[in-house]
Structure 1
Amino acid sequence: MGNDALPPDERHASALAAWREVLGTARVLGPDQARARYPQDTSGTRRALAGALLPGTVPEVQEAVRLAQRHAVPLYPISTGNNWGYGGAHPVRDGCMVLDLSGLRAIRRLDPELATVTVEPGVTQAQLRAHLDRHRLPFMVPATGAGPRCSLLGNALERGYGLTPYADHFGAVTSLEAVLADGSLYRPALAEMGAPDVDEVFKWGIGPYLDGLFTQGAFGVVTAGTIALAHRPERVESFFFELREESHLPAAVAAVRAILTDLEGVSGSINLMNRRRVVSMVEPFPAAEVPPRQAVPEEVVARLARRQRLPAWLGVGALYGTAAVVRAARARVRRHLRGVPTRALFLNRGRLGPLRGLSRLIPGALGEGARARLESLALGLEILEGIPNEVALPLACWRAGRGGEPGARDPARDGCGVLWYSPLVPMRPETVADYAGMVTRVALEHGIDPLITLTSLSARCFDSTVPLLFDRADALHGDQARRCFAALFQAGRDRGLLPYRLGVEEMDRFARLAPGAGALAARLRAVLDPGDILSPGRYTAQEAERAGGKGT
């Protein structure tokens, strides 16, 4: 009788013993230890974990996967486990062993001539930044708002993005290495054929493009990836523009599209943030004025916005290049914004310093507010320069009114409640305006604050991130946020707008709404992972049908 025919408890005990022989007792965790190590996600998701494995090398990953296959115990690979709002370290289904790759922290190779770096999944934004600084290398980290302690590869494999010149983070991945479900090691064809250097500088390789199977899927355990790095230019300059009226949004969208088209390679991504989103950045949550399980009343938002002189929408972008190129680009930005009732403000480190000095001369609350806003601008400029920091993390805890200590923020452990609605929105002025109105209406109907950001992925498409904030200590409020997500998903789909990624609670939508793609993914999986061992339930019809109940 094979191990897969044993009762589940016996299979699990047998697998734990085998893994401990390979990894050692300290790096094989039982269910209780795993529960303590991986807190409930900010979305409220918590699965019944079978335990966790903490390998430190690729051969250990291979052997861990082989043993999982032999004992028929499913694995759920994570990088650093900070996938906040989408499930965190928690799998789609109960009963999985977490395969924690945070111990694979090698920066295997950095080519300063061709500007590529090969990293393992445990390498964080902060680790790469420190490595670049230590060796005085003039490159930018593809920083995100998730913060310094998050995995570079984990974000890229979820097709994440940022604001630096290489905004599409998987687009910047040129090569992947992965362990398949049988424990064998996948390398791209060019590397196997004897051209590893070419493989690292040419994304598409030769023959079928297979690296893409390992993004947002469950076809292997990625153990390394090569990322193209953007050079840090002579000048990085942010620019801001304000829309005083909601009705100005369509004209601003047209202007953003024109800027991105005209200044391709000079302009980074451009963000548009609505008033409520900007209020959440500069004001504490007004808990005393908000009824339980309700959004901040409009009159309170208006008063806070007046106090801070906030517009209906705020646009934020960045220019990269030599001083002469940036100077010329400024003029082009101003020209494209002529059709929008606004004025562009340009800011760089040289201009920010004197402003911060002047703010120290302003007395009282007005001075404190000015200094806080300038500090936020300085941290935002660091992100644009490829220097990771925690400037965006307090958003997750805005509603909760609490957060961890600076430098150690962890929204999951800090008790913050947030899940994400992140649809792709074509950059058509009327489409964007209709979308923003829909989100505002649906969110307010569900008592959720409509905090809208639109981030350009290209001159054709925005991704919009809408954090659905709730009190995680209030189960009813969490249910309310999940109903809000469902309503937003449906209203967006009615308009042809769908998220670029899904949380673990929502994976069944892929199978139900894309049956053809889901069936094809399941057929591929049946060949590559017939035992359904790796990340069961992720984006395939077969696993979605098997998935059990929702987490709590």
Structure 2
Amino acid sequence: MTVLPETTAGHEASAVADLRAVLGKAAQVVGADRVTHPDDETHGAPVTTLGPNVGLYRSRAVFGVVRPQTAEEVRRVVELFAIEETSARLHAFSTGGNWGLGSREPAQDGAVVLDLSGLDLIRDIDVAQGWAVVEPGVTQARLARLLEGSERMLNVTVSSAHTSVVGNALDRGVGLRHQRVEDLTGLEVVLPSGELIRVGWWPEADRQTPVYAHGLGPSLVQLFVQSNLGVVTAATVRLLPRPEALRVVRLNFTPDKLEAATAEVRRWVSQGLARGVVKIYNEAAARAYDSEPGQYLVHVCLDGTREAVDALSGIVTVEAVKSGLFSAVSDTDASDPGAANHDVAVRVERAYAGDPDPTDALFEAKMGRPARRLDEEGGFLFFLPLVPFTGAALARADELIEQVRAETGMRCGATLNALSADVVDCVVTMKFARDGEEAERAHRALDRLYELFTAEGFIPYRLDIEHTEWADRLAAGTGARSFARRLKDAVDPHHVIAPGRYA
């Protein structure tokens, strides 16, 4: 007797039935009201359930959304997918505020989404030792509020106060003190098999150990940064010492002074005159901070004891005036109620001091709408390359941005975040209207930014969901990408966790 092979349709029907069965079991774990899946009218085909995204990237088709509320629920859901070996892969997000890079969207079609915003516990905190154990749904506003009046503070970002601490750190977001990945000391991770492990430093109930992320042997925390080797359900994050005093020196310079002025700022950073991340805004980005039209804006944070801040402020302002490069120099905007930029200056200083401003005043000024409406109403794209901190390199980056403007008509904002005396995180932003052809021009501009900057050696450190192939295109020929794939196959042989922007 000849046995005929199953038809493709038969395979598809079987796969859909298997997936529905797994989602049904997931509903028994998290509750039926916390699982969304295609209805009968779609005949099991994947449907878009995540809504719009502010970048106007193509909405991915997903097979369903599961919303666990505990690490144990995450573990059991992942274990279900590992056991059943469905064709759908799990894609996790924290709170979904990955604006400009894809928001909540997976990199590919056909995933089942794990929405981790319901994991929102601050499990433990030790102000004296300087750490907190937080879940992915914990926002920077909540953690910062808990630290008010204490000797510790959170390294906050200039994004919305209602974004995830853990999610941003895992994608190497930049805080006002340093890259937030440096704040990760330990991770709780559900592996693709459903096993829950902890890596790095974790608090022990019966003894106090020094907070040290690397431990003995290979350091494993970084394995789960920008990776799809597991689902992070909690992290131990550093809480930074709160300075006794803090002041932000505000400077302006004209575009023709870009190379010389940034070289002078670098000299201050290299000599230890500044604390935290020095920020330099081009004319478009500076508008949100009430800067003079046609001027670049610089924020230099100084902190320490009151005497140290007074001394450093005097040194920086004297150096700035003596250089002759700056059209305006002020260290009193936040302390002088009569200053034209007083309100903005106060908010900037508070952010450097660990207050992300739960009202989101600066964020809304930059974005034009509240965070909760951004994906539905806004138009916004990010490009995030690293540039050497030299006047010549930053001037070249500015030339490339102007070239993109000439080619596409898109005016880009640029914020230069000095991560050290050697490297700058160049945050290029594009805002656009959602209707008409402006969105198309913005995406064309984004493509050109990737092409021009990478050709110059200015490599992005974060990718959006439409440029995932650049992870391979930009990899040096050292075998690292091949090793990462072998590692993925070893840890996740059934590919339970969906490919992301970096793998």
Report the counterpart of residue 293 of structure 2 in structure 1.
310
The residue matched to 2:182 in structure 1 has which SS? coil
For 1:189 and 1:428, the matched residues in 2 are separated by 35
The structure that is helix-richer by fraction is: 1
Query: Is 2:245 aligned against 1:235?
Result: yes
CA distance in 2, matches of 1:17, 1:327: 63
Distance (Å, rounded) in 2 between the aligned partners of 1:58 and 1:181: 14
Query: Residue 189 of structure 2 is aligned with which of 159, 178, 190?
Result: 178
CA contact (8 A) 1:190 1:196 kept: no
Give the direction of change, closer, same or farther, for the CA distance of 1:189–1:423 in structure 2 (3 Å limit): closer
- Equivalent-residue separation in structure 2 for 1:161 and 1:500 (angstroms): 11
Q: Deviations over 1:324-368 (max 9, x none)?
A: 01011112313442324224211375x14x326xxxxxxxxxxxx
- SS at structure 2 position matched to 1:471: coil
Q: CA deviation at 1:190?
A: 6.2
Match of 1:288 in 2: none
Q: Determine the structure 1 residue equivalent to 2:330.
A: 345
1:208 to 205, 208, 218: 218
For residue 31 of structure 1, report the CA deviation from its aligned partner. 4.2
The alignment status of 1:385 with 2:353, answered yes or no, reads yes
- Measure how far apart 1:195 and its partner are: 9.4
Change (3 A) 1:162 1:27: same
- Look up the SS of the partner of 1:43 in the other structure: coil
User: Which stretches in structure 1 are left out of the alignment for 5+ residues?
Assistant: 283-307, 357-369, 541-552
**Which contiguous aligned blocks of 4+ residues in structure 1 show a shift greater than 6 angstroms?**
32-37, 192-196
What amino acid sits opposite 2:185 in the alignment?
T
Could you tell me how far 1:118 is from its partner in structure 2?
Answer: 1.3
- 1:393-432 map, 5 Å: 393-394=363-364, 397-398=367-368, 403-404=369-370, 409-413=372-376, 415-432=377-394
1:43 offset after TM fit, Å? 1.1
1:124 paired with 2:107, answer no
Distance 1:190 1:280 in 2: 39
Match in the other structure for 1:297 = none
Pick from 268, 274, 279 the counterpart of residue 259 of structure 1: 268
- Paired residue type of 1:272: I
Alignment partner of 1:454: what SS? Answer: strand
CA positional deviation for 1:191: 5.4
In structure 2, how many angstroms separate the alpha carbons of the residues matched to 1:380 and 1:36? 39
CA RMSD of superposed structures (Å): 2.6
CA distance in 1 between partners of 2:203 and 2:493 (Å): 25
Trace 1:47-66 onto structure 2 (pairs within 5 A): 47-66=60-79
Match of 1:529?
492
Measure, in 2, the Cα distance between the counterparts of 1:106 and 1:243. 45
Match of 1:82 in 2: 97
User: What residue number does 1:376 align with?
Assistant: 344
Other-structure match for 1:469: 431
> 109, 113, 138: which one pairs with 2:128?
113
- The change in CA–CA distance for 1:146 and 1:103 in structure 2 (over 3 A counts) is same
Could you tell me which residue of structure 1 aligns to residue 5 of structure 2? none
Q: Which piece of structure 1 moves more, 269-278 or 531-540?
A: 531-540
TM-score where L is the length of structure 1: 0.81
Cα distance, 1:60 vs structure 2: 0.6
CA–CA separation in structure 2 for the residues paired with 1:126 and 1:419? 24
Once residues 30 and 204 of structure 2 are traced to their aligned partners in structure 1, the CA distance between those partners, rounded to angstroms, is 32
Gaps of 5+ in 2: 1-10
Q: Does the CA contact (< 8 Å) of 1:251 and 1:339 recur in 2?
A: no
Moved more, 384-393 or 217-226: 384-393
2:378 touches 2:434 (CA, 8 Å); kept in 1?
A: yes
CA distance, structure 2, for counterparts of residue 248 and residue 189 of structure 1? 45
The answer to which of 380-389 and 514-523 deviates more is: 514-523
Match of residue 23 from structure 1: 30
Contact 2:288 2:366 in 1 (8 A): no
Say if 1:121 and 1:153, in contact at 8 Å, map to a contact too.
Answer: yes
Shift of residue 395, structure 1, vs aligned partner: 5.9
Q: Give, in whole Å, the separation in 1 of the partners of 2:264 and 2:235.
A: 36
CA 1:281–1:336 in 2, change beyond 3 Å: closer, same or farther? closer
Distance change >3 Å, CA 37–CA 374, structure 1 → 2: farther
Q: Percent identity?
A: 31
Supply the AA of the counterpart residue of 1:412: D
What's the secondary structure of 1:422's corresponding residue?
strand
From 415, 421, 446, the equivalent of 1:459 is 421
CA apart distance, 1:409: 4.1
1:71-104 Cα distance to aligned partner (Å, 9 max, x none) = 3231111010110111111101111111111111
CA distance in 2, matches of 1:160, 1:461: 15
